Amino acid sequence: MDMNFTADSSLAPSRWRKVAYGGMQPGYDDNHTDETFLEDMVMNANVVKRNMLKVMQDSVSISQYLCIVFLVVLVWIYTLRSTLNENSLLLLDISLLGSGFIILVLTEEMLSLKRLWNYILNVSFFTTGLFVLAPIYQTLTRSISSDSIWAVTISLLLLHLFLHDYSGSTIRPSGALKNPNLTSCISLNASIVASVFIASRLPSRVHVFATMLFSLQIFLFAPLVTYCIKKYSFRLHLLFSLGLMAVTLTFVYSLHCLLFVLLVGILIFVNVVCPYWLIRIQEYKFEINGPWDEAKLCFDITD
């Protein structure tokens, strides 16, 4: 290999340059790996370091919603067994509606009279519609056997829990960040269909109306109310969730022992085991970024 050395050059004739033009660089093979190889690689740039306590606090939202769904199922069971009669159910509905409104009014910073009137109008339309349609729901599933109803309801509720949007609310309050996506709409629909199926097993029209009102109230508005509470004050949210969990556990214990054990197991799994697991497997996260990445556009594409 002939090379021209200048008088005071070091051993290598010229420095290797990271360029593609000019053919083979003299003195270097094509597979030469320089010290600057992979110099621009950035690892784990966007990874958030998680804290166990914060993750456990965030998982409280999930267990709170789980308890709400359990309470709804409890009310259904009591209604189907005729332990709860229609008048007490109606009373329960009205008190829930009232307390929901009060919480909304208290926690919303800029609630105008116009918006409140809007809410009241919508709720009254909704209730009237339900009352008018109650006879249809009563006879809807008369030809279907009870076993199929229980099986379908449970699968729909599982689907609802699986696809539910735990961070926000499908019914958008004012000022919410993101649009509802497909999975949250599917979960809402699943819960509504499950309530219709259960309501259709009840004896009288008033029963049907009261149960439908109760279930739809909870499934449509409970995420909104809990979202408003969470936005208002995190401590209030934690207290509310713990209170809800205690109430659920008491009622389930008085109903059936095995269900109680199951519920306790699920709550421990969601609140303790999952956060620990998440933090353990985060050590393996390996995110690679570098000059080879596709550039991200900094503006939104509006069609």
Partner 1 sequence: MADLKHRILMVSDFFYPNFGGVENHIYYLSQCLLKLGHKVVVLTHAYGNRSGVRYMTGGLKVYYVPWRPFLMQNTFPTIYGTFPIIRTILLREKISLVHGHQAFSTLCHETLMHARTMGYKVVFTDHSLYGFADVGSIHMNKVLQFTLADVTRAICVSHTSKENTVLRSGLPPEKVFVIPNAVDTAMFKPAQQRLGRDEIVIVVISRLVYRKGADLLVEVIPEVCRLYPNVRFIVGGDGPKRVRLEEMREKHSLQDRVEMLGAVPHASVRSVLISGHIFLNSSLTEAFCIAILEAASCGLLTVSTRVGGVPEVLPDDMIVLAEPDPSDMVHAIRKAISILPNIDPQVMHDRMKRLYNWNDVAERTEIVYNRALKCSDQSLLERLSRDNGESE
Residue 285 binding partner 1, by CB under 8 A? no
Cβ closest to partner 1, residue 33 vs residue 112? 33
Residue whose entry in the numeric block shows the structure tokens 């960040």? 177
Stretch touching partner 1 by CB under 8 A, among 66-74, 107-115, 222-230, 286-294? 286-294
Cβ closest to partner 1, residue 53 vs residue 297? 297
CB of residue 15 to partner 1, shortest distance in Å: 14
Residue 1 binding partner 1, by CB under 8 A? no
Residues 212 and 79: beta-carbon distance below 8 Å: no
Alpha carbons 90 and 17: distance in angstroms, whole number: 80
Among 2, 8, 283, 294, binds partner 1 (CB under 8 A): 294
Stretch touching partner 1 by CB under 8 A, among 16-24, 93-101, 200-208, 210-218? 16-24
CB of residue 277 to partner 1, shortest distance in Å: 22
Structure tokens given for 272: 């303790």
Residue whose entry in the numeric block shows the structure tokens 């197991």? 265
State the burial class of residue 270 (Cβ atoms within 10 Å of its Cβ: 0-12, 13-18, 19+): middle
Structure tokens given for 67: 């308890």
Binding mask 41-80 for partner 1 (x = CB under 8 A): x---------------------------------------
Cβ closest to partner 1, residue 43 vs residue 236? 43
Query: For residue 185, which of 198, 196, 172, 199 has the smallest C-alpha distance?
Result: 172
**Bridge partners, residue 288, by sequence:** 43
Sequence-ordered list of residues with C-beta below 8 angstroms from that of 42, at least 6 positions apart, any chain: 288, 289, 290
Phi–psi pair at 220, nearest 5 degrees: -85, -40
Please report, as residue ranges, which positions from 22 to 41 form the binding site for partner 1 (by CB under 8 A). Answer: 22-24, 29-31, 33, 37-38, 40-41
Angle between helices 86-107 and 205-232 in degrees, nearest 10: 20
Number of residues that bind partner 1 (CB under 8 A): 28
CB of residue 181 to partner 1, shortest distance in Å: 18
Cβ closest to partner 1, residue 8 vs residue 294? 294
Cβ neighbours of 140 (radius 10 Å) = 15
Residues of this chain that interact with partner 1 (CB under 8 A) are 18-24, 29-31, 33, 37-38, 40-41, 287-288, 290-295, 297-299, 301, 303
